[in-house]
Chain A
Amino acid sequence: MKQFPWDILLALLAGLGLGLVYSWLISPVRVYDSEPAALRADFKDQYRTVIAAAYAATGNLPRAQARLSLLKDPNPIEALNAQAQRTLASGGSLTQADQLAALALALQTGTNLLPVSTPHIENTEPSSPTFPPTFTPIPTDVFFTPSETPEIIETPSPEPVINIPTPRPTRTPVPTVGAPFALIAQDTLCDPNLPDGLLQVMVFGANRRQLPGVKIIITWETGEEQFFTGLKPELGNGYADFLMRPDTIYTVQLAAGSDIAANLVAPSCQSPSGETFLGSIKLTFQQP
């Protein structure tokens, strides 16, 4: 009877093991040409911040959308809102949080709330652009370029010019967006279970869904504060609140543009036991 070749099998397995150790541990596949989706979470946050900052500067929503899609977030709007809230919670830059929330809102509503200041970009996908440059490349040496916006020089050519110079982008001021949010309800609540002087704000989109990340500006005679919807998701994505002081007149407006709720004063209420307490005000904004 022929003996089973255990030694050969053992050698095969040992070789397999050695091969795997080498390919997985000693010399794994080298990483280069990676995609933004593979970045570490904090770098993804940084990437999102820069996307939002670029959007705030250009107002180019399709380009911002294309860039966000590179991160392959399951829900980019939620990711932006969550990051805005994390930024605020960690005492980060209010401007950054604002830009993130503004981009989230623009994506949610599908409308561009910012003025577009750069021309349309032919290819939103950053890889493999298809259109060759229409002008002679600008000289590589820019170290001593005196002007911040160098002139583009067309190639002198005896043949008829076939390239039509594109007008330079100009930062023309665009009229501010109107009032996309209407104040549809303003209620006074006398509920002793609520904190004294609570100002509640609910913000709904045109589809009657609550909108998170909407910046609310509240002003009074001696100050101003900004807060966002969605910081208390347990009370609703479009919910935000603020504690009013007694005898202070407040004005509330959404930063994205809305009706103004003026002359808001915490109402004086009476409990069933006859006690006096500060009541609440509930404002409801909705996109028409």
Chain B
Amino acid sequence: MPPITCSDIHSNMMRSKRWAFVLLALIIGIGIGLIYGWVIDPVEFYDLTPDTLRADYKADYVLMVAEAYRLEQDPALAAQRLAIFGAQSPSSIAAEGLNYARANGFSDADIALIQELVIAMQSWSGIFP
């Protein structure tokens, strides 16, 4: 077994130091990549589905359906319009809109309209013509 010289020890230390720098560079690189990808230039989303809409837009949509329902009195059409939000039942979508409207100071007339829609959706048979 050859004797360990001072030169060998120095060389080993240099090598580990180098690896530490490489590891540090890798971590810094990942960090920069994440910041760039999440903050500076995040993935741009378009062609979204309505279930991603902000709660106030959802509530306003429910209100629109309620306004139209008041005139049309067609629960199947109203349900079809509410179905845009996906898997939830039309009555629960309308009820969510009603809760939002109550909690956020919608006018009484608007609340009454949504309430009418909720009742219609609850009593609707669920059969589209």
Contact = CB atoms under 8 A, between A and B. Distances in A.
Q: Identify whether the interface residues of B are mostly helix, strand, loop, or mixed.
A: helix
Nearest to A148: B116
B77 to A, nearest CB: 9
Contacts of A17: 29, 33
Interface stretch (A25-33, A100-108, A214-222): A25-33
B57 to A, nearest CB: 6
Interface residues of B, number: 64
B71 to A, nearest CB: 4
A16 B64 contact: no
26 contacts: A7-B22, A11-B23, A12-B25, A15-B26, A15-B33, A16-B29, A18-B29, A19-B32, A20-B37, A22-B33, A23-B42, A35-B54, A38-B52, A40-B46, A43-B84, A50-B65, A50-B68, A57-B71, A118-B113, A121-B107, A126-B56, A129-B105, A142-B98, A143-B122, A150-B115, A168-B109
Interface of A: 5, 7-9, 11-24, 28-29, 31-36, 38-41, 43, 46-47, 49-51, 53-54, 56-58, 67, 70, 118-119, 121-122, 126-135, 137-138, 140, 142-143, 145, 148-150, 152, 166, 168-169
Interface of B: 18, 21-23, 25-38, 42-43, 45-50, 52-57, 59-61, 63-65, 67-68, 70-72, 81, 84, 95, 98-99, 102, 104-113, 115-116, 118-119, 122
